[in-house]
Structure 1
Amino acid sequence: MLHTFAEHIWIADGSDVSTAGFVYPTRMVVVRLADGTLWLWSPVRMTEDLRAAVDALGQVAHLVAPNNLHHMFMAEWAAAYPAATVSAAEGVAKKQPDLRIDVTLGNSPIQVWGDDIEQVVIEGNAITQEAVFFHRPSATAIFTDFLQQFDAEHFSGWRKWVARFDLMIGDEPHVPRKFRLMTRDKEKARTAVAKILDWPTRRVICAHGAPVQSGGAALLKRAFDWLM
């Protein structure tokens, strides 16, 4: 179900998904834009209750797949809201050739949400190109996989040791080691992250980690110190 995170921004945690034997939680963000319409980031599996809760907030106008790892449930939301614009990161079309994609995400936000939400695409990584967003009214940076934080008990057996080595387990969100190692073009990534660090971030949401309500700018500086 939806939970209020800040004014005009909500979070909904969905069902878990499994990748290579690792179980990951899913999370979506709903933002009410200044025009009253809704912007849905990384939609989770749709349920009747979730759809009713979203509809109670306003008209769904934008569906966003922020990287090529977070797209699994986009098709069902696109089918449910055919008038909504579907915006997806590079690589999503290859993984979901039947998904209607209206806009490929770049470094310029769509005009109708640009007054509310800024965006930067972190390029130069061999795993994924991720669009990171900043909701101006709540000073919230929204990350998908470039920041992660799992509880030490989330994984078991050898997967716990892999997760710990990968920096997925920690006292605050970190950039996983695999993303650091697979950042092949550090100059491109550094340019993108520099723009992110310029945001006056107070809050941080990531798909896999505890939401952060304060101290966001300092957290991001620590998280990306390895790159900058």
Structure 2
Amino acid sequence: MAGFRYPTRAAVMRLSGNRLVVWSPVALSPALRVAVDALGTVSYIVAPNSLHHLFLADWKRTYPAARLYAPPGLREKRRDLAFDAELGDEADPEWAGEVDLVPMRGNLITTEVVFFHAKSRTVLFADLIQQMDPGSLTGWRALVARLDLLTGPEPKVPRKFRLAFINRQSARKPIERVLSWPTDKVIMAHADPVLHDGRAFVERAFRWLSD
């Protein structure tokens, strides 16, 4: 993307009855399908924002019985996909007590839906928190990544996403909801997982909202 290599990560949330929620699907290789099928039944496929949609069609073809969910803005972008529902301010009733979510509205780049898997006490971010290995970048790419706050000692909200929030006050309310979750771990599409003290990590990542 724009000359950058963006390693990315999907996640699988297991619900009661061995139902699986596949979050931010990546390329579906035969080995990945075997690994996912060993966990349970793929029942829901979700894109967390309008940027993470490239492999939705492959997953839907492979798991036609799974419900496909669009974040705000993706239906218009991917009219070729038949979405079953759109992610809103409340989680699907079928996920009650197991998965919570909150949309981060008011961002000019994309509206990202942040997820929380209750049993594992894990929050999932797609693009709102990122980190790149500075050793993998050279020349102008290294400079751009540093200016975008992508190569610091821990994952952060990229500068471009901070600037894209047109109203910081409107962003504080959903982050307050995220901080109300009893978070231990944080999974990100573009950074290594945070496996301890996840709530404190999220609080540090969004401290700029109060500056």
Same-fold call, TM cutoff 0.5: yes
Q: Deviations over 1:26-45 (max 9, x none)?
A: 21001110221111000100
RMSD after superposition: 1.0
Q: Please state if 1:78 is matched with 2:60.
A: yes
Q: How does 1:59-78 map to 2 (within 5 A)?
A: 59-78=41-60
Tell me the TM-score normalized by structure 1: 0.90
Q: Which has the higher strand share?
A: 1
Consecutive unaligned residues in structure 2, runs of 5 or more = none
Q: Please state if 1:219 is matched with 2:183.
A: no
Separation in 1 of the partners of 2:128 and 2:104? 9
Q: Deviations over 1:144-200 (max 9, x none)?
A: 000001111122210111011101111111000000011002222111111111111
Specify the alignment match of 1:87 in structure 2.
69
- SS of the counterpart of 2:204? helix
Whichever residue aligns with residue 124 of structure 2, its letter is I
Q: Number of residues paired by the alignment?
A: 210
Moved over 4 A (4+): none
Structure 1 residue 214 displacement after superposition = 0.2
Out of 139, 142, 146, the residue aligned to residue 121 of structure 2 is: 139
Q: Percent identity?
A: 48
- SS of the counterpart of 1:22? coil
Whichever residue aligns with residue 138 of structure 2, its letter is S
Specify the alignment match of 1:7 in structure 2.
none
Separation in 1 of the partners of 2:191 and 2:111? 19
Higher relative contact order (CA 8 A, sep 6+): 2
Structure 1 residue 46 displacement after superposition = 0.7
Q: How does 1:1-228 map to 2 (within 5 A)?
A: 19-228=1-210
Structure 1 residue 95 displacement after superposition = 2.1
Consecutive unaligned residues in structure 1, runs of 5 or more = 1-18
CA contact (8 A) 1:78 1:100 kept: no
Separation in 2 of the partners of 1:101 and 1:202? 32
